[in-house]
């Protein structure tokens, strides 16, 4: 199969969302509070449709169900990954995700969530939250009960181009002024631990303290992903993370080169510039899949992509 499969994104308005996706990516967003672009998703809460080609208009979930050959006949009921762009104009709540075992048992067989963040852009003094400072579950419980949030959470300064792997059980939050590309397991199970005491329509949003305490790993340990760069004539390929659920890489082109597909199929998002994949024009804001059997292909142009595979 040699046809690239492009997708129409699904947008989500959020109390913390903004409008950078219109200016940065030219998307027709639904409002100035657009927090998420579900760019490659077959999730029931945001199922992308194919744009153009043989499968034009078909949802990714249907394509997954009916044409598994496109995905190398990978087993599994659900399309396993979800690619999002997140525009945080305000702070997101402090949260944690369960792993597959906990979600399977407590959330009607849903998948847990491992996710990772590539910082597309951020304000000069931007921060994120990854991890906590409690040495044990007991300490975690008392810090939460006493509302010692400042002491509990680990806030870190960040820069454009930083990358973070967020394992299940990791306390985390995207803070204001960040534009992030997220690659994650296709799951929507989030336990909200703390929401800065904010109100939505006059009421605080629901918290999930008990489940959060259940799943938070104590003590927190940072994940070192060890970014590895392979440079070649016309570009470079940087491996950001390899984990049980996905491999995520940053592919930079400044010229022309051949590349071989890894994994059963390839997901790609152009985050900067423009160019061609086997002569097909692609540009910043495009998200697509190279189907199974795509094999070796030519990349040409001046662009940066985040690519992932199983």
- 3-class SS shares of the chain: helix, strand, coil, % to 5: 15, 45, 40
**Residue 307, C-beta contacts closer than 8 angstroms, at least 6 positions apart:** 248, 249, 250, 251, 266, 267, 268, 269
What DSSP string describes 183-231? EEES----EEEE-TT--BTTBPPP--HHHHHHH--SS--------EEEE
Other CB atoms within a 10 A radius of the CB of residue 104 amount to: 14
Query: Quick one: tokens of 179?
Result: 């534009």
DSSP state letter for 262: -
Query: Quick one: tokens of 189?
Result: 């199970």
Query: Could you give the CA distance from residue 206 to residue 247 in angstroms, rounded to a whole number?
Result: 33
Residues recognised as catalytic: 192
Query: Could you give the CA distance from residue 172 to residue 23 in angstroms, rounded to a whole number?
Result: 27
């Amino acid at each position: 199969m040699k046809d690239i499969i492009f997708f129409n994104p699904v947008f989500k308005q959020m109390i913390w969302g903004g409008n950078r996706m219109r200016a940065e990516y030219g998307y027709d967003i639904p409002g100035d509070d657009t927090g998420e672009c579900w760019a490659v998703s077959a999730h029931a809460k945001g199922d992308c449709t194919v744009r153009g080609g043989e499968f034009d208009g078909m949802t990714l979930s249907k394509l997954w169900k009916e044409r598994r050959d496109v995905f190398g006949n990978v087993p599994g009921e659900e399309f396993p990954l979800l690619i999002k762009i997140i525009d945080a104009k305000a702070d997101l709540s402090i949260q944690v995700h369960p792993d597959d075992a906990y979600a399977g048992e407590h959330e009607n067989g849903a998948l847990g969530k491992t996710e990772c963040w590539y910082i597309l852009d951020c304000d000069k003094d931007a921060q994120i939250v990854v991890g906590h400072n409690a040495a044990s579950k007991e300490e975690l419980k008392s810090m939460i009960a006493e509302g010692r949030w400042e002491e509990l959470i680990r806030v870190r300064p960040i820069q454009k181009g930083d990358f973070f792997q967020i394992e299940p059980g990791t306390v985390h939050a995207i803070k204001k002024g960040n534009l992030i590309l997220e690659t994650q397991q296709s799951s929507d199970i989030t336990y909200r631990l703390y929401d800065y005491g904010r109100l939505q329509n006059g009421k605080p949003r629901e918290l999930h303290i008990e489940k959060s305490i259940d799943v938070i790993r104590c003590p927190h340990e940072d994940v070192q992903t060890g970014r590895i760069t392979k440079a070649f004539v016309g570009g470079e390929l940087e491996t950001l993370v390899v984990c049980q659920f996905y491999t995520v890489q940053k592919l930079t082109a400044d010229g022309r080169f051949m590349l071989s597909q890894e994994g059963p199929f390839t997901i790609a998002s152009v985050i900067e510039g423009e160019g061609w994949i086997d002569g097909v024009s692609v540009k910043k804001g495009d998200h697509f899949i190279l189907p199974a059997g795509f094999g070796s292909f030519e990349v040409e142009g001046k662009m940066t992509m985040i690519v992932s595979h199983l």
